[in-house]
């Protein structure tokens, strides 16, 4: 690794101040699982590394009137073990469990996974299916935006040079919402997703689907919502044929690439199957069958 200067930021204000001073010459160190691997392979590293891993304000999971607030520095292991996550949005724990392996999950953070913004990230689809929002802090103050607006492209986010991702909020209206996450990789451990998918839904008093969400990863430049499938599902009574049809609509809407892991056609077929299964699982939860 090339040499750099190092500063441990004690709190959010300190980190933002450093970002405002050094901007593009600085990189944020959270869990380090992406950053250090990146710095080892890059020819020109940052001049300054700002370590936020000791900033207590960025850690922990709290239930607030607005929803469940997850500090950006919360590790994937902490999400897997959190009683609040298990009670209010267990799909996030299921998604966290598919990331890397134990060692990666012990260091890697939810915020880091989102900021790195690789299209195959495993934390994105479940969060999008729950209408998650992210909080950003910068010199001009704080702002909050939907996670879908945060992702701007492969490894590109809405973060400005002086901004820091501080938290992820699952809105109160999504807490307890039946949801499922499924991933298909070449192995169970240490494998990037060929495709991952999450689905969530409520049932109204007559047993019809309301507020369905279908989110897909690794089949577009960013985590995407399959809105055609969502519109098709809304207001319909759940039935196996309905989920098959929704899977087909999601497969038609996604834009996968062919690479050495899988062809675009194979990824499209996986989308159809994973969406169908995720919807069936969410429905089973909604009916109280699981």
Partner 1 sequence: MITIRFVVNGALQVLSVAPETTLLGALRNQLGLTGAKSGCEVGDCGACTVIVDGRSVNACLMLAVQADGCTVLTIEGLATREKLHPLQRAFEELAALQCGFCGPGAILSAKALLDVNPDPSRQEVRDGLAGNLCRCTGYTKMIDAVLHAAQELRAAPTSAATHGER
Q: In angstroms, give the least distance from the CB of 102 to partner 1.
A: 5
Q: Which residues bind partner 1 (CB under 8 A)?
A: 1-6, 8, 29, 32-33, 36-37, 39-41, 49, 51, 53, 77, 100-104, 106-107, 188-190
Q: In angstroms, give the least distance from the CB of 82 to partner 1.
A: 15
Q: Using the minimum distance from each CB to partner 1, give the nearer residue, 15 or 220.
A: 15
Q: Using the minimum distance from each CB to partner 1, give the nearer residue, 193 or 216.
A: 193
Helix-strand-coil split of the chain, %, nearest 5:
40, 25, 35
The answer to whether residues 235 and 226 touch, using CB atoms and an 8 Å cutoff, is no
Q: In angstroms, give the least distance from the CB of 5 to partner 1.
A: 6
Q: Using the minimum distance from each CB to partner 1, give the nearer residue, 30 or 248.
A: 30
**How distant is the alpha carbon of residue 205 from its chain centre?**
31
What's the burial of 249, exposed, middle or buried (CB within 10 Å: 0-12/13-18/19+)? buried
Using alpha carbons, select from 126, 222, 240 the residue that is nearest to residue 180: 126
Lateral strand order in the sheet of 141-146: 61-64, 67-71, 164-171, 133-138, 141-146
Q: Using the minimum distance from each CB to partner 1, give the nearer residue, 33 or 174.
A: 33
Q: In angstroms, give the least distance from the CB of 158 to partner 1.
A: 26
């Amino acid at each position: 690794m090339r040499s750099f200067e190092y500063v441990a930021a004690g709190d959010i204000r300190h980190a933002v101040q450093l970002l405002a001073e050094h901007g593009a010459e600085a990189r944020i160190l959270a869990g380090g699982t992406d950053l250090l691997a990146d710095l080892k392979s890059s020819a020109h590293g940052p001049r300054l590394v700002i370590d936020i891993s000791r900033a207590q304000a960025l850690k922990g999971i709290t239930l607030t009137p607005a929803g469940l607030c997850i500090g950006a520095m919360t590790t994937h292991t902490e999400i897997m073990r959190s009683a609040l996550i298990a009670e209010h949005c267990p799909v996030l724990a299921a998604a966290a469990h598919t990331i890397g392996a134990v060692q990666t999950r012990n260091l890697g953070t939810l915020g880091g996974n989102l900021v790195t913004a690789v299209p195959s990230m495993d934390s994105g689809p479940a969060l999008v299916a729950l209408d998650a929002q992210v909080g950003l802090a910068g010199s001009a103050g704080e702002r909050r935006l939907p996670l879908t607006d945060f992702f701007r492209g492969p490894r590109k986010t809405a973060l400005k040079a002086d901004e820091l991702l501080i938290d992820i909020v699952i809105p109160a209206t999504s807490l307890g919402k039946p949801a499922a996450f499924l991933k298909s990789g070449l192995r169970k451990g240490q494998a990037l997703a060929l495709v991952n998918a999450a689905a969530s839904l409520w049932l109204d008093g007559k047993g019809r689907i309301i507020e369905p969400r279908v989110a897909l990863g690794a089949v577009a430049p960013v985590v995407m919502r399959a809105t055609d499938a969502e519109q098709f599902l809304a207001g319909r009574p759940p039935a196996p044929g309905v989920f098959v049809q929704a899977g087909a609509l999601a497969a038609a809407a996604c834009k996968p690439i062919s690479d050495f892991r899988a062809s675009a056609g194979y990824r499209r077929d996986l989308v159809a199957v994973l969406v169908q299964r995720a919807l069936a699982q969410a429905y089973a939860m909604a009916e109280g069958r699981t």
